[in-house]
Amino acid sequence: MDDRAAAMAVTGGTETPASDTPHLENIMRASFIHIADTHLGYEQYGVRERFNDFSRAFWDIMEVAVQRQVDFVVIAGDLFNKRAIDAQTLLHAIEGLKKLKERHVPVIAIEGNHDRSYYRDGTSWLQFLCHQEYLMLLAPYMRDGAPQISRWQSDTMRGSHVDLVGGRLRVYGLPWQGAATNRSMEGLAEAMAAACAGEEAAGIEYRLLMMHTGVEGIVPRVQGLPAMAQFQPLRSHVDYLALGHIHKPYEFEGWMYNPGSTETCGAEESAWEDRGYYFVEIDTDEPERIIDLNKTARYHRATHLVSKRRPFVRHELRVDGLTEPETLYARLEDYCKRESYKHEHDSLRPLVQIQLIGILNFDAGSLDRVRMEEMVNSYFRPLYARVDNNTNDQDYIPEGDDIDGRDRSAWHELERRIFEDLVSRDNRYLPAKEQWSMVLSDLKKMALERDNPAAIAQFLRDKRSELMGM
3-state SS class at 333: helix
Contact 262, 61 (CB under 8 A): yes
269 lies in the binding site for Mn ion (CB under 5 A): no
Contact 423, 433 (CB under 8 A): yes
DSSP string, 173-214: EE---GGGHHHHHHHHHHHHHHHHHHHHHHT--EEEEEES--
Query: Which range in 55-63, 76-84, 272-280, 321-329 contacts Mn ion by CB under 5 A?
Result: 76-84
Contacts of 187 (CB under 8 A, 6+ apart): 144, 145, 146, 147
Residue 187 or 214 having the CB closest to Mn ion: 214
Q: How far is the CB of 115 from Mn ion (least distance, A)?
A: 9
Residue 71 or 269 having the CB closest to Mn ion: 269
Residue 113 or 377 having the CB closest to Mn ion: 113
**Quick one: which of 71, 78, 163, 205 contacts Mn ion (CB under 5 A)?**
78
Residue 42 or 379 having the CB closest to Mn ion: 42
Contact 72, 210 (CB under 8 A): no
**Backbone phi, psi, residue 196, to 5°:** -55, -50
Buried b (16+ CB within 10 A) or exposed e, 404-421: eeeeeeeeeeeeebebbe
- Euclidean distance between CA atoms 281 and 302, whole angstroms: 7
Residue 37 or 163 having the CB closest to Mn ion: 37
Sheet order of strands, 351-357 included: 312-318, 351-357, 384-389
Interface of this chain with Mn ion, residues 24 to 43, rule: CB under 5 A? 37
- Euclidean distance between CA atoms 108 and 34, whole angstroms: 10
Contact 265, 40 (CB under 8 A): no
Residue 262 or 437 having the CB closest to Mn ion: 262
Residue 78 or 239 having the CB closest to Mn ion: 78
**Backbone phi, psi, residue 369, to 5°:** -65, -40
Contacts of 283 (CB under 8 A, 6+ apart): 27, 28, 29, 289, 290, 299, 300
Q: How far is the CB of 211 from Mn ion (least distance, A)?
A: 13
Q: How far is the CB of 37 from Mn ion (least distance, A)?
A: 4
Handedness of CA 102, 108, 110, 114 (dihedral sign): negative
- Euclidean distance between CA atoms 30 and 279, whole angstroms: 11
Where are the strands (E) in 300-458, listed by range? 300-306, 312-318, 351-357, 359-360, 384-389, 392-393
Residue 11 or 258 having the CB closest to Mn ion: 258
Residue 5 or 138 having the CB closest to Mn ion: 138
Q: How far is the CB of 246 from Mn ion (least distance, A)?
A: 8
Interface of this chain with Mn ion, residues 36 to 75, rule: CB under 5 A? 37
Residue 37 or 111 having the CB closest to Mn ion: 37
Residue 78 or 163 having the CB closest to Mn ion: 78
Q: How far is the CB of 373 from Mn ion (least distance, A)?
A: 28
- Euclidean distance between CA atoms 455 and 8, whole angstroms: 78
Contact 343, 380 (CB under 8 A): yes
- Please give the residue ranges that form the binding site for Mn ion (CB under 5 A): 37, 78
